Structure 1
Amino acid sequence: MDAESKPPAPTTLHDVPDRLLEPILARLMASPLCLARAAATCKRWRRIMGRTRFFLSEVDRVGYRQAPQPRPVAGNYRSRLSSLGGREFVFVPTPPAARYGIKNSHFSLDFLPGGCRKWEVVDTSRSLVLLAKKRKGAWMRRCFPSLLVCEPATRRYQLIPRMEEMKHHRCLGSYLVGTERCTEFKPSGDRRLLDTMQTFKVVCVAYQGHDRLCDDVGSARACIFARKTEVRKGRPETHTWYAERSRCLGYNYNAHLHGADSLHFLGHAEGSLFWSIKGDKECLVSYGGPWLPENFNGTVLRVTDDSAYENVQFVCLQGSTLQIFVIPTVAYLSIGWELHKSLELMEATRGLTGYKEEYFDGSLKVVMTSPKFIVLALENGTWLFSIDLDTMEVAKCNHKTVDHLGILDFPCELPWPPTLRACVGSCVRQGQGPCSHACIC
């Protein structure tokens, strides 16, 4: 051996090629904390973990419902009185998220154009937030709004152009859909994970009155803004608005609205929106998605989805019995419906203060609904009680405590693929403000 030759350098982790290092790092998927620590190790690891295909296996596992996976809810946007007058929305982290170091500043809306005080939250879906520009005047607040969609965790936003031909129509509600995790095939044949900021849809329901009919008879029209280009018959190929009529389900497929207030929003689940129409009989209206069978005789109070398998849940009231029906889905296809939970309210409320058995001789009145709670009262509006939809526990409440049940909360989840807050380079702003779209100093 030549005395001047140097021994070979020891093999290190940096010698492992990307194709072998990627499956090793993928094993950290079960722990968000380990995922963040690995991303902060070096630029190379962060580059590998930032690839969208790194999370494809997780999407496939969730898509085929191999195991329940709670959604990573970071917190809720809540409306409160502002010290400067009016109302403002603040972000309140959930206790698990707070333990991981998530602060309300991470989900601040101060990056919005014109400042956050000019916007109000109207809906959320996964990691995205839908906001409407505040307006003065009662009539202007009812008209078609100016909208914006943003992802607070990455401080990205997109202004939604207004549908000019509908700008003077009354808007019954604005909703955010199309944020489910999905993939698409590239021309090369490989798949890539789509960003929710590329796939979302905004649905605005406008009321159109019929001029030649009396009693304020009209119909609802669903106006959809699709962020992702959809080449279909009758739909534009650019990112703009198009209109569809909502499908009327149940006993009457041609039901009309007797005034704008006769349409009541029930909730959205798995990319579908649900309403009920009040009238001689109450029917269900939806934009996409499954529904209960036509022979169902109860009243639908709320439609939501669970936090694990992402099934569609219908919260219904039949007499004095509260029932939750679930429509299981496999690969986003409906496979039937089943009774998930049932609660006899007369027996469940027997131990509450002020209970009287004759209270249930008449009908019950729905005071408020939310994805987690239902508040019911007697027909005259007295003796309120709430039902926790997760535990089916009942509790006495009053009008002052209703607002504390999370009725006006807008949940916001962590983005997927996850935003890795790891500074591995020099801050371009010397520690003042965000150094990139994915890192806040």
Structure 2
Amino acid sequence: MYLQSMPVDIQEHILLQLDSPICLVCASTTCKLWRRIIAGTVFLKRFRSLHKPPVVGYYHQSDQSPASVRSFKPSPQVTTAIASRYDSLDHFLPLAWLFTGTVKDSRGSLLLVEIATMKEDTLRQHLYVVEPLTQQSKAIAVYKATTPAIPCEIQAFLLDGAKPGEIGMSNFRVVCLSKNGTVAGIITQDGPIREVKTGNDHGKYMGYLGSAAGSMYWYTKPRTVFAFDKTTAEFSSSSLPDTDDFVQPTISTKFAVTAGRDGQARIVFLAGDTLKIFARPKPRSGDDWVLEKSVQQPSAVTLGVPRPQRFTFGRSVPLC
């Protein structure tokens, strides 16, 4: 009787606190309502986002000097033998990895590694997809800097392969953005780069905000948001409200992207001591963002919205 009188959203919140898929299956046998809640697509997406799989460990490195501080920290539950596989990239990657290599992204059991080399006074950036556990690597692209000795600001990210939810050395995609953000490239394990227009015709730098609700998000001044749909591999653009909030020089450090309880993306922005949450009333291409909620925070406890990293720092590698 008590459960029947409890609002459904409260019951959903309780079920989301379960820390095991096994417990979730057991809970689904309790009653028809809980079975219907747990079987819902939105609920399952939220559950997966809250309860990440175990991780092998974390790669840590500095953008300024990757080789000198690059390290791998295994999780306590990982055996020494498995951890050593992830800490031994030096043994099967090109020698240049020791001096210029950086881990740009990770997904599943794979890493996306960037290695820079100099040839005829021109900096070249090479991308490798790496599987540390099997010590396999595959070169997938080479980029050339427009100015000698100055690195390109190529952004690159790992995605699942053609089959959603599956990724491996024979099934992956890589998304790369050009320095000026006007063109993106989609690379698969066995195909050439397929160019995709981002819609950023002005060539303004696109700051990566994060990933949520099946899409990746970038921001350009003064208030444009670009979204990349991971399923369709297409970009769309939308706008934030026309206010004075988005004119600060360090605007990109105050954004974060997350998913709401309805499974749709939200943009969280820190304006002074106030967190502003923006939503799209109709989550379709071209719909602009509106202010959904403002949350006032005492300045003494305001820590700021975590800055999304363009380069990997503390990226987790799930157990495979």
TM-score band w.r.t. shorter chain: 0.5 to 0.7
Partner of 1:107: 86
Task: State the distance in 2 between where 1:85 and 1:180 align.
Answer: 28
Change (3 A) 1:64 1:85: closer
Deviations 1:28-60 (CA, angstroms, capped at 9, x unpaired): 9749xxxxxxxxxxxxxxxxxxxxxxxxxxxx9
Between Structure 1 and Structure 2, whose CA radius of gyration is higher? 1
Distance 1:130 1:80, change over 3 A: same
Deviation at residue 149 of structure 1 after TM alignment: 0.9
Q: Work out the percentage of aligned pairs sharing the same amino acid.
A: 18
Measured after TM superposition, the shift of residue 73 of structure 1 is 4.8
* 2:127 matched residue in structure 1: 147
Q: Secondary structure at the match of 1:197?
A: coil
- Figure out how many residues of one structure are paired with residues of the other and give that number: 259
* Equivalent in the alignment of 1:344: 296
| Mapped contact 1:77–1:91 kept (Cα < 8 A) | yes
In 2, the alpha carbon distance for the partners of 1:127 and 1:68 equals: 21
* Pair 1:338–1:263, CA change in 2 (3 A): closer
Distance 1:265 1:77, change over 3 A: same
Unaligned runs of at least 5 residues, structure 1: 1-27, 32-59, 184-192, 209-218, 228-237, 249-253, 353-384, 390-401, 420-441
What is the CA–CA distance in structure 2 between the aligned matches of 1:151 and 1:65, rounded to whole Å? 31
Query: Is the Cα contact below 8 Å between 2:270 and 2:304 reproduced in 1?
Result: no
Distance 1:131 1:152 in 2: 11
The residue aligned with 1:244 is 196
Write out per-residue CA displacement over residues 86-123 of structure 1, whole angstroms, 9 at most, x where no aligned residue.
52421123xxx414547642422244323551522122
Q: Which residue of 2 aligns with 1:226?
A: 188
SS in 2 for 1:117: helix
Paired with 1:181 and 1:68, the residues of 2 have a C-alpha distance of 24
TM-score using structure 2 length: 0.59
**1:282 maps to amino acid:** R
Match of 1:68 in 2: 47
Distance 1:308 1:129, change over 3 A: farther
Partner residue in 1 for 2:8: none
Q: Which residue does the alignment assign to 1:200?
A: 172
1:284 and 2:236 are equivalent in the alignment: no
Quote the residue 1:91 is aligned against. Answer: 72
State the secondary structure of the residue aligned to 2:154: strand
RMSD: 4.8
**How far did 1:63 drift?**
6.0
Tell me which residue corresponds to 1:264: 207
How far apart are residue 129 of structure 1 and its match? 1.4
Distance of aligned partners of 1:104 and 1:168 in 2 relative to their CA distance in 1, 3 Å threshold: same
- Structure 1 residues 360-371: aligned runs within 5 Å: none
Give the distance between the partners of 1:245 and 1:318, measured in 2 at CA: 31
1:387 aligned onto 2:304: yes
Distance 2:280 2:168 in 1: 25
Which secondary structure state, in structure 2, belongs to the residue aligned with residue 105 of structure 1? helix
Could you say which residue in structure 1 is the equivalent of 2:102? 120
- CA–CA separation in structure 1 for the residues paired with 2:274 and 2:206: 24
**Counterpart in the other structure of 2:30:** none
Asked if 1 retains the 8 angstrom alpha-carbon contact of 2:212 and 2:258, the reply is: yes
Partner deviation per Cα, 1:173-193 (whole Å, 9 max, x = no partner): 23224227945xxxxxxxxx7
1:316 aligns with 2:316: no
Offset at 1:268? 3.8
8 Å CA contact 2:256–2:305 kept in 1: the answer is: no
- CA-to-aligned-CA distance 1:309-347 (integer Å, 9 cap, x gap): 98644221346422344679x9xx9x99898875424xx
Aligned 8 A contact 2:161 2:173 in 1 = no
Paired position in structure 2 for 1:161? 141
TM-aligned CA deviation for residue 130 of structure 1: 1.0
Contact preservation (8 Å) 1:274, 1:286 = yes
Separation (CA, whole Å) in 2 of partners of 1:127 and 1:324: 33
1:414 is the counterpart of 2:305: no
TM-score w.r.t. the length of structure 1 is: 0.45
Q: 1:61 to 1:167 in 2, by over 3 A?
A: farther
State the secondary structure of the residue aligned to 1:68. Answer: helix
Instruction: State the Cα distance separating 1:72 from its structure 2 match.
Output: 1.7
- Name the CA shift for 1:106/1:256 in 2 (closer, same or farther; >3 Å): closer
Counterpart Cα distance in 2 of 1:86 and 1:107: 16
Which amino acid counterpart does residue 71 of structure 2 have in structure 1? V
Partner letter of residue 112 of structure 2?
L
**Matching residue within 166, 179, 202 for 1:255:** 202
Aligned equivalents of 2:269, 2:68: Cα separation in 1: 33
1:263, distance to aligned residue in structure 2 (A):
3.8
- Aligned partner (choices 108, 112, 116) of residue 134 of structure 1: 116
